[in-house]
Structure 1
Amino acid sequence: MIRDYSAYKKVSQAFTAYWDDFQTITVMADISLDVQDAYTLTDGHIDLSIEVKETSKMGKKRLVSLHVDHEYSPGNNYFLVHSSGETSLVFTGKVVRTDLFDERYYYDGELGAILTENGTIFRVWAPTATEVIVNIYNEEFQKVKELPMLKQEQGVFEGLAPEDGEGTLYTYTVYVNGEIRETIDPYAKAATSNCKFGMVMNASNTNPDGWNPMEKPTFAKPSDAVIYELHVRDFSSQAKSGLKNRGKYKAFTEEPPPKDGLPSGINYIKWLGVTHVELLPIQDFGSVDEMKAPPGYNWGYDPIHYFVPEGSYSLNSHEPYTRIREVKEMIGKLHEKGLRVIMDVVYNHVYQLHASPLEKIVPGYYFRFDHGGKPSNGTGVGNDTASERRMMRKLIVDSVVYWAKEYGVDGFRFDLMGIHDKETMNEVRYALDCIDPSILIFGEGWHMNTILPDHRKAMSSNARETPRIGYFNDHFRDSVKGKLFDTGSTGFANGNFSVKEDVKKCIMGSVGDKFITASQSINYVECHDNHTLWDRLNRSHPSVREEVKQGMHRLATAITILCQGIPFIHAGQEFFRTKNGVEDSYKSPDKINRFDWQRMRAVQENVKYIRGLISIRKHFEAFKMTEGHDMNRINFIDSPGPILAYRINQHHTSEAIIVIHNGGYHSDVIDIGDGDKWVLVEGEHASVEPLRKTSEKVISIAPFSTIVLITSD
């Protein structure tokens, strides 16, 4: 049982005090309090020498800076006593955010509940805590035991429970900053509903039959990827999906029969031809109550726990092993179908700062604070994590490594990656290279208004300093479809020819312009955020006929798939996905967010067209070049304003590929030279097998369409 500190933990009504570095205490006191030689510092046993270094006024308060001869020792209680008798605990303040704190208390070992032959070792990093205990609970969630933990080096607390092994439910109680806080272990690998209790896990007992996380589809280089972004629940929530386990991980293991001539379920994704399925967050998040049936809807960008899968997609969130086994089954089935799996990970913020296990255990450490002491809010959700601090960096690296090793994850998409620092992202890259160099890493490299200096941020303008890490190419997006935050603006694919030169740079993977290699460029015109492309076109072109908008949509998607770089497709983009005009559907109901299997089959000719484009990209190396010198093989053809045409010389052959895009409202012609040519893409058809042969020198192209030809010089 944690000792009673009530005699000392009183907080003065007249002042508060904080350790701001190892020898500085900052006091905020009533203006009426005497300052000079008025304070005494004690650790509860002896008085410590202090000196008033500076005082200043702040409204009706006075700031006092005290120099302490004795260095602050984390995990000890210090009390400041005023000559008036007012007494307050000296809270741990900015000292935890100093470089010296990181240097002295960084711990590089294993954390969490470690199952051994002799019981369970519980290990938690809590350098500022005075005491930590492990609470052991039974299956009825009643506390049955408290295990005191011993403080080790680098601020780690450790306890051995010889009688408590696999299946043990536990929490930590931490005494820190004058408060007693109970919390789940941030390194727990298994947990009950809503991650209230951690559970000691034997990972081998969560494995499906024949499970091998390293058995995965072969994959040569990043530019071979075609990414398909999908929400677990969306995939199967529609009744017409033909899937029984609607909204669940299990739906990915089902293989319903084909319908209307097209595959269903997971076989549809395989048939479409993409290489990677990117799943919106499946780490435990807080915006959906796992105990509620049916659970509410959310995209899941509200993380609570980084090592445990989300339970609302499980058939049984109460049983900790079930969700783990189901995620492994889902990934195993995707691998079996030749599909790699990318996780959308959210390390840039947490659901609620003060409810986070990280904040409960080491207050003020894992997050950024502005110069006024308020949480930095570059994420827009009230808190920014501090990846530059070594234990937050360790948590990020440990987590992705765990998902890669234990679950066989093949890639990580970092939400708001621009919040993170470059060093952390490069460490993530190195750690994953040690497991599997083909694992993809990319993210949103936006400039975020967080307190971290710009030169340290993992944003696209610093891409040259983060090799082999990809960035969403917003320049591509805005040039092709129009500026994101101006829904009335247009891009090349919907009639704006002024951006033609910008699109040319994007066609070459923005190499030299933005990135070191083309594989750093994640090319997209639609994702889960903001309007779908179809809904955007309905806003920017409200009076245009539907068939014209479909042409614009096809053209934008064709440019995405045929550009150098990595094409990124939002699930349903191939069938003009709509969310009924809802811009950000993060908590909209299933009827807005569901993957519309009926709509897919109703416009299956367009779906087959997108499938054909993907097959062409995969077949020809000319669409998957990477290095800057490779871009010399691309030669743009002189063409009228609405036409963008170019020739790519095939490597080591006399063949060339000619790509022509028409972003205008009228048919136009272009001179593509003499010789026989084989048409692969034209109108609403696309295929690796030629559609027809032509010897025409001047070719006509329909409005808002793409032509691809093969020619032999």
Structure 2
Amino acid sequence: PNGVTTGLDHLVELGVTHVHILPMFDFWTGDEADKDFERSYNWGYDPYLFTVPEGRYSTDPINPYTRIIEVKQMVKTLHENGVRVILDMVFPHTWGVGVMSPFDQAVPYYFYRIDKTGAYLNESGCGNVIASERPMMRKYIIDTLKWWVTEYKIDGFRFDQMGLMDKVTMLAIKSELTKIEPSVVLYGEPWGGWGAPIRFGKAEIGGTGIAAFNDEFRDALRGSVFNPAVKGFLMGALAKETGVKRGVAGSIEYDEVIRSFAKDPQETINYVACHDNHTLWDKNYLAAQADTNVKWTEEMLKDAQKLAGAVLLTSQGIPFLHAGQDFARTKKFDENSYNSPISINGLDYARKAEFIDVFNYYKGLIELRKAHIAFRQRTAEDIRKKLTFLPTPRKMVAFVLKDENDPWKEILVIYNGDTKDQQFTLPEGTWNVVVDKNNAGTKVLYQVSGKINIKATSAMVMYKAN
């Protein structure tokens, strides 16, 4: 619509390296022959058969070959366009138990955790929890993942409720899949259902090379996911600077205060929004409505959307963007759209045309990150050596990256989370600005030196002129 690219062309234009697809293995909910996604739609977090593609997305669900061929064609096409594919796997629970579970049909109770009375435990909040620690369940999980990698050429996996999986199984997954595909990407949610005992959470992640969704960084930036009125750094909240710095440093042990769960930056997924909870735009809009001190305009909310991208794409670790975050995606304030119609869950590309400045900003930030290795340090030691935080006023974070391997030997990044402009004194020298409030990329916009004005709710990236 309105001359903008959509679908695959949009992904290629944006410049992303991987696409994470919500469950597309066979899930229970929905009639496979029913293509009316407005009347009946579901994300698919109700697993039935883990090694079979879901038929609802197939052009001919009656013919079993069609879904197999079409998934392979999709993966091949994404690969041909430089985009790798990550599948969302939901091992910690199944749709049902007993006659509704292929596992119970094979060996009753063996594949699930049960209590002393023989009742199914409900650590997932979905009625049951699989026993990943049992040898044949562990084997089934590993065999399933190997099947997707070898047969469908999948490049990585996102694990739903990964905190409920046992550590031995997760390490075995990493070991086995790395033998087949050394660059396999593995990450997941380091939690389970409410109050569930966590077996592979953030306390266990460090040193495994498996990444966890960084909810601390998320909350520092956007505020609470449970109370939309609670703002984060992006909207001028106080005392969020340390949380942001921890995220910027890849959540490694940077110093006594700036430290978190990761041993290396590859173990953190930096994000502000995903399919769960409100989209970033909806969350910030609701927070703005509740704000009694500042009268927010749409332009100001766009600034916060851009600042979110600037922080994520200049931080150490793995940046993760919710689809449509780059054009201010809304789900009309639906915070749990797992079974909402496609009109809520679908991507509205007319909005891309409306918020094309936000899209171009994200596109420029991705180009910047890909072009400059300084933003993609490999180890905690590299980060400690090359990243230095600078003193700033409140509601601001600034740091310098000095990396001899980067064509820009010295890069300065500044985030102003305040709803007012702030003054900042630059380190000595002349600096080439490549990112400011309105523009982002690798081209020099203008030069600055000395004391400068950092616009409200904005980021600046610059490198030292020779």
TM-score category, normalised to shorter length: over 0.9
Residue 117 of structure 2 corresponds to which residue in structure 1?
372
| Whole-Å separation in 2 of the counterparts to 1:497 and 1:630 | 30
Residue 341 of structure 2 corresponds to which residue in structure 1?
589
| Whole-Å separation in 1 of the counterparts to 2:461 and 2:378 | 21
Instruction: Say whether residues 1:470 and 2:211 are aligned partners.
Output: yes
The one-letter code matched in structure 1 to 2:109 is: G
The one-letter code matched in structure 2 to 1:692 is: Y
User: How far is 1:334 from its partner?
Assistant: 0.2
Which residue among 191, 197, 204 is the counterpart of 1:446? 191
Residue 458 of structure 2 corresponds to which residue in structure 1?
705
Instruction: Say whether residues 1:499 and 2:240 are aligned partners.
Output: yes
Q: Is the 8 A contact 1:376 1:450 kept in 2?
A: no
Residue 539 of structure 1 corresponds to which residue in structure 2?
286
Residue 320 of structure 1 corresponds to which residue in structure 2?
64
The one-letter code matched in structure 2 to 1:357 is: P
User: How far is 1:483 from its partner?
Assistant: 2.0
CA shift digits 1:101-133 (9 cap, x unpaired)? xxxxxxxxxxxxxxxxxxxxxxxxxxxxxxxxx
Residue 82 of structure 2 corresponds to which residue in structure 1?
338
| Whole-Å separation in 2 of the counterparts to 1:337 and 1:505 | 34
User: How far is 1:447 from its partner?
Assistant: 5.3
Q: Is the 8 A contact 2:213 2:268 kept in 1?
A: yes
| Whole-Å separation in 1 of the counterparts to 2:428 and 2:233 | 28
Q: Secondary structure at the match of 2:392?
A: coil
Which residue among 588, 602, 613 is the counterpart of 2:354? 602
> For residues 93-492 of structure 1, what are the structure 2 equivalents within 5 Å?
260=3, 262-294=4-36, 296-354=40-98, 355-446=100-191, 448=193, 454=198, 457-464=199-206, 467-492=208-233
User: How far is 1:538 from its partner?
Assistant: 1.6
Instruction: Say whether residues 1:651 and 2:398 are aligned partners.
Output: no
User: How far is 1:450 from its partner?
Assistant: 7.8
User: Structure 1 unaligned runs (5+)?
Assistant: 1-239, 241-258
| Whole-Å separation in 2 of the counterparts to 1:293 and 1:330 | 19
Q: Is the 8 A contact 2:125 2:194 kept in 1?
A: no
| Whole-Å separation in 1 of the counterparts to 2:94 and 2:165 | 14
Q: Secondary structure at the match of 2:350?
A: helix
Residue 267 of structure 2 corresponds to which residue in structure 1?
520
| Whole-Å separation in 2 of the counterparts to 1:393 and 1:450 | 24
User: How far is 1:388 from its partner?
Assistant: 0.3
Q: Is the 8 A contact 2:54 2:67 kept in 1?
A: yes
User: How far is 1:294 from its partner?
Assistant: 2.6
Q: Secondary structure at the match of 1:549?
A: helix
| Whole-Å separation in 1 of the counterparts to 2:31 and 2:246 | 46
| Whole-Å separation in 2 of the counterparts to 1:436 and 1:596 | 35
Instruction: Say whether residues 1:560 and 2:312 are aligned partners.
Output: yes
Residue 640 of structure 1 corresponds to which residue in structure 2?
393
Q: Is the 8 A contact 2:125 2:193 kept in 1?
A: no
User: Structure 2 unaligned runs (5+)?
Assistant: 254-259, 290-294
User: How far is 1:626 from its partner?
Assistant: 2.5
Instruction: Say whether residues 1:611 and 2:358 are aligned partners.
Output: no
User: How far is 1:486 from its partner?
Assistant: 2.3
CA shift digits 1:308-343 (9 cap, x unpaired)? 000000100000000000000000000000000000
Instruction: Say whether residues 1:683 and 2:437 are aligned partners.
Output: yes
The one-letter code matched in structure 2 to 1:421 is: D
Instruction: Say whether residues 1:575 and 2:327 are aligned partners.
Output: yes
Q: Is the 8 A contact 1:367 1:375 kept in 2?
A: yes
| Whole-Å separation in 2 of the counterparts to 1:438 and 1:409 | 11
Q: Is the 8 A contact 2:222 2:272 kept in 1?
A: yes
Q: Secondary structure at the match of 1:278?
A: strand
The one-letter code matched in structure 2 to 1:395 is: Y
| Whole-Å separation in 2 of the counterparts to 1:320 and 1:652 | 51
| Whole-Å separation in 2 of the counterparts to 1:464 and 1:667 | 38
Q: Secondary structure at the match of 1:391?
A: helix
Residue 662 of structure 1 corresponds to which residue in structure 2?
416
User: How far is 1:610 from its partner?
Assistant: 0.3
User: How far is 1:539 from its partner?
Assistant: 1.4
CA shift digits 1:122-179 (9 cap, x unpaired)? xxxxxxxxxxxxxxxxxxxxxxxxxxxxxxxxxxxxxxxxxxxxxxxxxxxxxxxxxx
Which residue among 265, 276, 280 is the counterpart of 1:529? 276
Q: Secondary structure at the match of 1:686?
A: coil
Q: Secondary structure at the match of 2:25?
A: coil
The one-letter code matched in structure 1 to 2:429 is: G
| Whole-Å separation in 2 of the counterparts to 1:606 and 1:569 | 13
User: How far is 1:263 from its partner?
Assistant: 2.9
User: How far is 1:637 from its partner?
Assistant: 1.3
User: How far is 1:449 from its partner?
Assistant: 6.0
CA shift digits 1:378-434 (9 cap, x unpaired)? 111100001000111111100000000000000100000011000111111011111
Q: Is the 8 A contact 1:304 1:350 kept in 2?
A: yes
Q: 1:293 to 1:625 in 2, by over 3 A?
A: closer
The one-letter code matched in structure 2 to 1:475 is: E
The one-letter code matched in structure 1 to 2:389 is: F
CA RMSD of the aligned region, Å? 1.5
Higher relative contact order (CA 8 A, sep 6+): 2
The one-letter code matched in structure 1 to 2:369 is: R
User: How far is 1:642 from its partner?
Assistant: 2.1
| Whole-Å separation in 1 of the counterparts to 2:348 and 2:188 | 27
Give the count of matched residue pairs.
Answer: 450
User: How far is 1:373 from its partner?
Assistant: 2.6
The one-letter code matched in structure 2 to 1:343 is: L
User: How far is 1:478 from its partner?
Assistant: 0.6
Q: 1:586 to 1:710 in 2, by over 3 A?
A: same
User: How far is 1:487 from its partner?
Assistant: 1.8
The one-letter code matched in structure 2 to 1:403 is: W
| Whole-Å separation in 2 of the counterparts to 1:443 and 1:373 | 29
- Higher gyration radius (CA): 1
Q: Secondary structure at the match of 2:464?
A: strand
Q: Is the 8 A contact 1:655 1:712 kept in 2?
A: no
Moved >6 Å (runs of 4+): none
Q: Is the 8 A contact 1:509 1:521 kept in 2?
A: yes
Q: Is the 8 A contact 1:419 1:450 kept in 2?
A: no
Identical aligned residues as a percent:
38
Q: Is the 8 A contact 2:157 2:185 kept in 1?
A: yes
| Whole-Å separation in 1 of the counterparts to 2:438 and 2:381 | 33
| Whole-Å separation in 2 of the counterparts to 1:293 and 1:411 | 28
Which residue among 236, 249, 253 is the counterpart of 1:508? 249
Which residue among 376, 383, 393 is the counterpart of 1:624? 376
